[in-house]
Amino acid sequence: MEKTFSGKTAEEAVEAGLKELGLTRDDVEIEVLEEGKRGLFRSVPAQVKLTVKEKLTDGQRAVKFLEGLLPLIGSEAVPVLTGEDEKIVIELRADGTKGIIGRRGETIDAIQVLAGAVANTGRHEYRRVVVDCGNYREEREETLKRVAEKLAAKAVRLGKRVRLEPMNPYERRIIHSALADSTEVTTKSEGKEPNRYVVITPKNQRQDDRKGKRGGKDRSRKGRDGRDSRYGGERKRTYEHRELPAESTPESSGTSFSRGGTPGYKKGGFSGFFGTFLGNAADEETPTPTPEDKDEE
């Protein structure tokens, strides 16, 4: 709809037209037909033409955006709005779909994100936007459901968590939905975008796997015979704490010797030291260690 308005100036003509139509400047396209002239004997009024802009729906606004975007990325696909009830569905129609979909749907996913941003501009509640091409979304959904069921069975069989590859929110939602009613596994998203992924956890998860999940480490290195490999296969010995001989220990105890009349301790001499260390009396004969005693050391 378009209508012409006049006034002393172009600005006055625009204001008069907006007031009459009950619209704002954002709702109309303004075309100045006559600037208006004021002369000594004759004045010419200004004239403007106001054309009401067509109000586009959220889906139509997204389609219009894609019509300008697709040629910029070298695509001849034509966006067509096929649904706008619960969600906005836009189909990209083209002879070839490979270049539009991209590897693992990366290209069409990027197009979908941009279309969703445009469709939700100025909205308080987010509306879901789906951009499809050649029935790709439906086929991908069926594939993800099969993968979810297969990996869930694997998680239950092994009793361990199974991690899927990073996915976008739409595909992660499919995995969660496919296993929502399962009595054997639970699902949870972990990580940060854009590398956020789904983890399938079995309800019969093994205890050692739970320790690994918490980051706990089993520091035990015992072999089959119970020996700790950190000590060369030998069990670590523990010795009973004993007190050293007092300073007044007589020389006859075997813990000291005289060199030039000065008592001192003999370095490496353990034969005499053993008697006192084991609590033998000073006047008893110091036992000589046997080969069996050395082996037990």
- For 78-102, the DSSP string reads EEEEEEESSSEEEEEE-S--HHHH-
Tell me, what's the pLDDT at 246? 53
Report how far residue 294's alpha carbon sits from residue 275's, in angstroms, rounded to the nearest whole number: 15
Tell me, what's the pLDDT at 30? 85
Closest CA to 9 of 30, 36, 41, 39: 36
Q: Which residues pair with 6 in a beta bridge?
A: 47
Helix (H, G, I), strand (E, B) or coil at 156: helix
Tell me, what's the pLDDT at 105? 86
Tell me, what's the pLDDT at 280? 44
Tell me, what's the pLDDT at 241? 56
Tell me, what's the pLDDT at 258? 44
- Residues contacting residue 180 through CB under 8 Å, at least 6 positions apart: 187
Average pLDDT of adjacent 10-residue blocks, the chain of 297 residues? 83 86 82 76 81 86 94 92 92 85 88 94 90 92 95 94 91 94 94 92 76 51 53 53 53 45 48 42 45 42
Report how far residue 285's alpha carbon sits from residue 49's, in angstroms, rounded to the nearest whole number: 129
Output the pTM of the full model.
0.54
Helix (H) or strand (E) holding 143, with range, is helix 136-158
Tell me, what's the pLDDT at 8? 83
Tell me, what's the pLDDT at 150? 96
Angle at 23 between CA 21 and CA 24, to 5 degrees: 140
Tell me, what's the pLDDT at 243? 58
Tell me, what's the pLDDT at 235? 54
Tell me, what's the pLDDT at 224? 54
Helix axes 136-158, 169-178, angle to 10 degrees: 50
Tell me, what's the pLDDT at 7? 83
Tell me, what's the pLDDT at 59? 93
